[in-house]
């Protein structure tokens, strides 16, 4: 089995230099591994992260390929990793912030009222229950005397 955990200069091209032999480390993870990257999956993640600098360097080399298809795929891969994949023209970002920003003041107030109504109903019920309990306690206290 191929073991990348022993990152040596022989694995990476000489042009990569010492920086490529350093292990890429994420945030420290305790023994219980709350992220869930343990066992075979965790090992695969480590291996992929260690090989990532070499893979990116190889893509950069392939950008200069004589085969235009290879060069185009390599260029697209580098651009996607650097800036994210481009969105289709019709595809819009739908976020709460954007929707609220596009609302008029009246629309925002109406939406707030709509969202607050269930809470008001709940608070009324809670208040009514507390009043009923207080009356029951007062009644019980008055009959015992």
3-state secondary structure the chain: CCCCCCCCCCCCCHHHCHHHHCCCCCCCCCCCCCCCCCHHHHHHHHHHHHHHHHHHHHHHHHCCCCCHHHHHHHHHHHHHHHHCCCCCCCCCCCCHHHHHHCCCHHHHHHHHHHHHHHHHHHHHHHHHHHHHHHHHHHHHHHHHC
Say which residue the tokens 């651009």 belong to: 79
* Dist. CA 16–CA 79, nearest whole Å: 20
Q: Residue ranges per domain, the chain?
A: 1-26+37-86, 96-144
In the chain (145 residues long), the average pLDDT of successive 10-residue segments reads: 43 45 49 64 90 91 93 91 79 78 92 92 89 87 57
pLDDT given for residue 110 in this prediction:
94
Contact 22, 7 (CB under 8 A): yes
Closest among 52, 39, 45 to 11, alpha carbons compared: 52
pLDDT given for residue 88 in this prediction:
73
* Dist. CA 19–CA 13, nearest whole Å: 11
pLDDT given for residue 106 in this prediction:
94
pLDDT given for residue 109 in this prediction:
93
């Amino acid at each position: 089995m191929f073991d990348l955990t022993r990152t040596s200069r022989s694995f990476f091209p000489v042009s990569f230099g010492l920086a490529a032999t350093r292990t890429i480390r994420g945030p420290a993870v305790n023994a219980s591994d709350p992220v869930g990257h343990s066992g075979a999956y965790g090992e695969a993640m480590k291996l992929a992260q260690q090989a990532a600098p070499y893979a990116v360097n190889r893509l950069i080399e392939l950008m200069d390929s004589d085969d235009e298809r290879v060069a185009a795929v390599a260029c697209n891969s580098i651009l996607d990793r650097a800036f994210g994949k481009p969105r289709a023209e019709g595809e819009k970002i739908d976020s709460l912030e954007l929707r609220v920003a596009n609302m008029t003041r009246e629309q925002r107030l109406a939406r707030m009222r709509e969202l607050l109504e269930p809470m008001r109903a709940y608070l009324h019920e809670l208040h009514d229950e507390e009043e009923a309990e207080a009356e029951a306690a007062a009644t019980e206290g008055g009959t015992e005397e």
